[in-house]
A and B are shown apart, each in its own frame.
Chain A
Amino acid sequence: MTADVAVLGAGMHPWGKWGRGFVEYGTAAARAALADAGLEWRDVGSIVGADTVRGGYPGYVAGATFAKALGWQGARVASVYAACASGAQAVNAARAQILSGLADVVLVVGADAAPKGFFRPAGGERHDDPDWLRFRVLGATNPTYFGLYARRRMALYGDTPEDFAQVKVKNAALGALNPYARYRKRVSAEEVAASAVVSDPLRLLDICATSDGGAALVLSSMEFARRHGAADPVRIRAVSTVTPRYPNTVLDLPDIATDSAAAVAPPDETFRASIARAAYEEAGVGPEELSLAEVYDLSTALELQWYEDLGLCGEGEGAKLLREGATALGGRIPVNASGGLASFGEAVPAQAIAQVCELTWQLRGDAGDRQVAGARVGLTANQGLFGHGSAVLAVR
Chain B
Amino acid sequence: MVTDWFTGDGDDFRLLGTRCSACASVFFPREDGHCRNPACGGGELAEVPLSRRGRVWSYTDSRYRPPSPYVSDPELPWEPYALIAVELESERIVVLGQAVPGITVSDLTVGMEVEVVPGVLGEDAETTWITWHWRPTGVTA
Contact = CB atoms under 8 A, between A and B. Distances in A.
Contacts of A258: 93-94
A1 interface: no
Contacts of A138: 70, 83, 96-98
B25 A264 contact: yes
A127 B3 CA distance: 10
B20 interface: yes
Contacts, number: 148
B13 interface: no
A259 B106 CA distance: 28
Interface in B4-37: 20, 23-29, 36-37
A69 interface: no
Contact of B64 (A198, A201, A259, A262): A198
B69 A197 contact: no
A262 B2 contact: no
Contact of A260 (B68, B69, B91, B131): B91
A120 interface: yes
Contact of B66 (A118, A197, A202, A247): A118
Most chain A CB within 10 A, of B64, B72, B90, is at B64
A196 B96 contact: no
The DSSP consensus for interface residues of chain B is loop
B111 A155 contact: yes
A199 B81 CA distance: 10
B61 A147 contact: yes
Given A260-B27, A263-B25, A137 B131 contact: yes
A202 B64 CA distance: 12
A155 B109 CA distance: 8
A136 interface: yes
B96 A139 contact: no
Most chain B CB within 10 A, of A127, A156, A247, is at A247
Contacts of B98: 138-139
Contacts of B23: 263-264
Given A135-B66, A139-B98, A260-B92, 17 more contacts: A133-B29, A137-B1, A139-B62, A139-B66, A139-B81, A140-B83, A144-B83, A147-B60, A148-B96, A155-B109, A155-B110, A156-B110, A256-B29, A256-B95, A257-B28, A257-B29, A257-B95
Interface of B: 1-2, 20, 23-29, 36-39, 57-64, 66-72, 81, 83, 85, 90-98, 105, 109-111, 121, 131
Closest 6 CB pairs of A and B: A147-B60, A155-B110, A139-B66, A261-B92, A152-B58, A139-B70
